[in-house]
Copies of this chain bind each other. A is one copy, B any other.
Amino acid sequence: MRAALITAGRQLLAEAGLAGLSLRAVTRQAGVSPTAAYRYFADREHLLAAIATSGVWELTADLEAADRLGVDKLQDQACAYIRFAVANPALYRLIFGPERLSHYPELESALAAAYGVLAARVAKQAAPGRATDKTMACWCLVHGLASLAIDSRLPPDAGPAQLLAARLTATLSLEN
């Protein structure tokens, strides 16, 4: 049932956005009583954290797939990242949003895993010693781009965000 609540939440999130993601709406969607969720989640926030965590694992899998199948593997990871964000805007916002979802250990470790996939790629391509900085720059750039793209705050003539991600990632000049 924990799982049922999470998928109900993700559906609600996709349909009605973060605003529609009330505890009661989730239980309603799952067909149970308003307070049933309290058996599985201490808090509304804990439910949100669980939903976010499920999303992060999905993102991690996408990144891994891009790295396994891609040709320009780093750019492909960036593309996959943006694709995920654009396909699940509300979920993405929940993950990185202003809720105080830090210090939920499961979420933390899921995020660490996603970060690890990128870091591994950069480590293979960047000049040694510059890897951590480059990884961070890449992460920040892609995350920032995703945030802006989702909120359609990119210049209108910027073109599709995924291409942008590839282009901008390429400007990071890993080799020096």
Spell out A's residues near B (CB within 8 Å). Answer: 17-19, 90, 93-94, 96-98, 100, 102, 111, 132-134, 136-137, 139-145, 147-148, 151-155, 158, 164, 167-168, 171-173
Q: Which residues of B contact A133 (CB under 8 A)?
A: 167-168, 171
A140 x B151 contact (CB < 8 A)? no
Residue of B nearest to A145 (CB): B140
Cross-interface CB contact of A136 among B19, B154, B172, cutoff 8 Å: B154
Whole-angstrom distance between the alpha carbons of A17 and B99 in the complex?
10
Residue of B nearest to A97 (CB): B98
A98 x B93 contact (CB < 8 A)? yes
Report the copy number of this chain in the oligomer: 2
Cross-interface CB contact of A144 among B147, B167, B171, cutoff 8 Å: B147
Q: Which residues of B contact A155 (CB under 8 A)?
A: 132, 136
Q: Which residues of B contact A96 (CB under 8 A)?
A: 147, 151, 153
Can you list 10 A-B contacts with CB-CB less than 8 angstroms, sorted by A residue number?
Answer: A17-B100, A19-B100, A102-B152, A133-B168, A136-B158, A140-B144, A140-B148, A142-B144, A171-B172, A173-B173
Instruction: Give the 3 A-B residue pairs with the shortest CB-CB distance, closest first.
Output: A144-B144, A140-B144, A93-B98
Cross-interface CB contact of A134 among B93, B134, B171, cutoff 8 Å: B171
Whole-angstrom distance between the alpha carbons of A17 and B102 in the complex?
14
- Assess A94 versus B98: contact at CB under 8 Å? Given A143-B144, A144-B143: yes
Q: Which residues of B contact A132 (CB under 8 A)?
A: 155, 158
- Assess A143 versus B152: contact at CB under 8 Å? Given A133-B167, A171-B173: no
Q: Which residues of B contact A94 (CB under 8 A)?
A: 98
Q: Which residues of B contact A144 (CB under 8 A)?
A: 139-145, 147
